[in-house]
Amino acid sequence: MARLAEYRAKRDFDITKEPRGRLNRAAGKSRRFVIQKHDATRLHYDLRLELGGVYRSWAVTKVPSLDPAVKRLAVEVEDHPLDYGTFEGTIPENAYGGGTVQLWDRGQWRPQSERSPAKDLEEGHLKFELDGERMHGGWALIRMRDRDTHRRQARHNWLLVKERDESAIPGEPDALLAASTSVKTGRTLDEIAGGVRPKRTKRIAAARAKPKTVKKKVRAR
Ligand code: MN
C-alpha cells in the first residue's frame, strides 16, 4: 500500500471522482501505458507506465514530440493506481489536480532491453517501445541531474525523447497536437468539461463487431 500512499494523501475522495485504487501485484506481466491530457493550472500530458502493480507517472509539460531533436520536460509525479488508467472526467477546481482529464492515448509498452525496467528507472535511463493509438515506436526517459546535489529532490525532472525510427517525424515536434479527442470517448477537453456524453468511437464500434474469441485474445493479460 505504501506505493499509493502519496497518491491517496493528496486527494479527498469525497470531493474527486478519481479512483482510490489498490495495488495490483497480480498484473505484473502486463505492461499497459496511458497518457492523460490534463487541463489543470497548466495543460500537460500525464504519461503512465504500468510497472510493479502501479502506474509510474510523469507530467509532460508539452505535447510529446515526434521530432527526436526536441526533448520534452517530464516531471516525475506520484505513482497512480491501475484503476486510474481508464479515468476521464472533471476534477473539481478546489481539489488536488483540479481540471479536466482526457484519455489521450493507451496501449502497451515494453522495455527495449532485457534489463529490469525498474532498475533502469532507478538509474535514470529507460528506453522503451510504445504500441499505442497515437504513440508508436521507440522512446526514452532520461533523468536530469538534481539542481541541488546536497538535497535529494522529491520530484525529479526527466526528459521524454523520441528515438530515430520510422515513427519519428523530424522537424515536426508538435505533430501530435492535431490529436485532440479522447481515445476512449471521442470527446474534446471542452466536451468532457461540458459534460457531453461519450461518443462511440470507431475503435469501440470495431471491437464490438469482432467475434468474442478475437476480442478475448486481444485483451488477454
Ligand atoms: Mn496531471
Dist. CA 76 → ligand 1 center (Å): 11
Task: Output the CA 114–ligand 1 centroid distance in Å.
Answer: 30
| pLDDT for the residue numbered 29 | 66
Give 123-171 pLDDT, tens digit per residue: 999 999 999 999 999 999 999 987 665 655 667 999 999 999 999 999 9
pLDDT > 70? residue 214: no
Secondary structure (3-state) at 105 = strand
- The model's confidence at residue 1, banded by pLDDT at 50, 70 and 90, is very low
Stretch 178-192: mean pLDDT: 96
Residue 34 is inside which H or E element, if any? Answer: strand 32-39
pLDDT of residue 21: 87
Residue 92 in this model has a pLDDT that exceeds 80 = yes
In the reported structure, the alpha carbon of residue 96 is separated from the centroid of ligand 1 by a whole-number distance in angstroms of 9
pTM for the whole thing? 0.85
- What spacing in Å lies between the alpha carbon of 161 and ligand 1's midpoint? 19
Q: How far is the CA of 45 from the centre of ligand 1 (A)?
A: 7
Q: How far apart are the CA of 38 and the centre of ligand 1, in A? A: 5
Residue 40 Cα to ligand 1 midpoint, Å, equals: 7
Alpha-carbon separation of residue 112 from 66, 117, 127, 188, 221 (angstroms): 18, 9, 6, 33, 20
Mean pLDDT of the 165-181 span: 96
